[in-house]
Amino acid sequence: MGAQLRIYRRRIRSVKSTKKITRAMELISASRIVKAQQRVAASTPYANELTRAVSAVATFSNTNHPLTTESENPKRAAVLIITADRGMAGAYSTNAIKEAEGLIVTLKERGLQVLTYVVGRKAVNYYKFRNRAVRNSWTGFSDKPTYANAKEISTELIAAFLKDAAVDVDGVDELHIVFTEFKSMVTQIALNKRMLPLEVVEAEGPAPAGLLPMYEFEPNAGEVLNALLPRYIESRVYNALLQSAASEHAARRRAMKSATDNADELIKSLTRLANAARQAEITQEISEIVGGADALASANAGSE
C-alpha cells in the first residue's frame, strides 16, 4: 500500500470517529431539548402571571416603593449575563455576550457604572481573559438549572439593589438581565430586559372597556410588594435560565448536525481521493509488471 493511500485511509478513520461523537452529541441534545421545552412551557405562565400581579400592585397603588420607583440620579446598574458552561453550541454564548456588551455600552453612555454578574463558564472565561472585573459568577448548571440556582442568584441581586448606591459601592439602582429566548428549534434570540425598577407590563389583547377594577391591599401595598417582588425576580431569573438552557440544547443540536453533515461530505471527498490514489497505484503496478515482462522477453530473445 502506498504512503498516500495510507494517509487518506487514516484521515477517513479519524473523520468517522469524529462523526460518531458529533452524531451522539446531536442525539443527546435532541433528547434533552424536549424536556427543556416542557420546563419552559411550565414556568412561563407562572412568571407572566406573577409579573402581571406585581404590575397591578405598582399601577393601582400610590405607594412609593424603592423596588418600583426609579432613582432620580442613578449611579450603578447590575447586568446578569447567562451563557453556557460547555462549548460546541455554535454562536449561542457569543451572541449573548455581544448583546451584553451592547447593553453595557448603552448604560455607560448614560453615565452609569456597570457591575457584571455572569452565569456559565463561557462568560467567565471571556471576562477573565480580558482582565475585566466580575462581581460574582455561577457555573455548573447552565444546561439544567433548578429553582434553587435562580433563588441563589436572585438573593444576591436583590441585596445589591436594596443597598443605597449613593453611599455603598456594592449598591445598584437598576437590574438588567441578558439571556437567550427560545423561539423554536431553529430560532433563538439573545435579548436584554430590565427587571428592576419594575417596568409595568402591558397586557396583550384589546384594552378592557368600562371602569377599571379597584384593588385593596392588606396589610398595605408596600408589604404586598415586599412579599411579591423577591418571588417576581426569582421567577424572572428562573424562566431566563430555562429559556437559555433550551436555547443552548437547540444550538448544540444544530451545530452538531452541521458537523455531522460536514463529516459525511469530508468522508465522501476523502474516499474519492483514496480510490483515485489506489487506482493510480494499481495502474503503476500493472505498468511495472508489463515493463518487466517485456524486459524478460527481450532478454530471452537476445540470448537465443
With 0.95 as the threshold, say if the pTM is over it: no
Signed CA dihedral, 136, 141, 145, 147: sign only: negative
CATH of the domain at 91: 3.40.1380.10
Instruction: Give one DSSP letter per residue of 100-161, joined into a string.
Output: HHHHHHHHHHTT-EEEEEEESHHHHHHHHHTT---SEEE-S-TTS--HHHHHHHHHHHHHHH
Say if 148 falls within a structural domain. yes
Say if 11 falls within a structural domain. no
Say if 18 falls within a structural domain. no
Residue 23 near residue 260 (C-beta atoms within 8 A): yes
Residues 195, 58: Cα–Cα separation, whole Å: 14
- Reading the chain (304 residues) residue by residue, the pLDDT tens digits are 577 888 888 999 999 999 999 999 989 888 888 888 888 888 888 888 887 777 777 766 666 666 677 777 888 999 999 999 998 888 999 999 999 999 999 999 999 999 999 999 999 999 999 999 999 999 999 988 999 999 999 999 988 988 887 788 888 999 999 999 998 888 899 999 998 887 654 444 454 455 455 667 677 777 777 778 788 889 989 999 999 999 999 999 999 999 999 999 999 999 998 888 888 888 888 887 888 777 777 777 766 5
Say if 296 falls within a structural domain. no
Say if 194 falls within a structural domain. yes
Say if 155 falls within a structural domain. yes
Cβ neighbours of residue 122 under 8 Å, at least 6 residues apart?
A: 83, 84, 85, 87, 93, 97
CA distance readout (Å), 30 to 180, 213, 223, 238 = 18, 46, 45, 22
Q: Residues 41-68: pLDDT tens digits?
A: 888 888 888 877 777 777 666 666 666 7
Domain count, the chain: 1
Say if 13 falls within a structural domain. no
C-alpha cell recorded at residue 206: 384589546
| H helices, E strands: number in the chain | 5, 5
Say if 233 falls within a structural domain. yes
Range of the domain at 190: 54-65+72-200+218-247
Strand, helix or coil for residue 82: strand
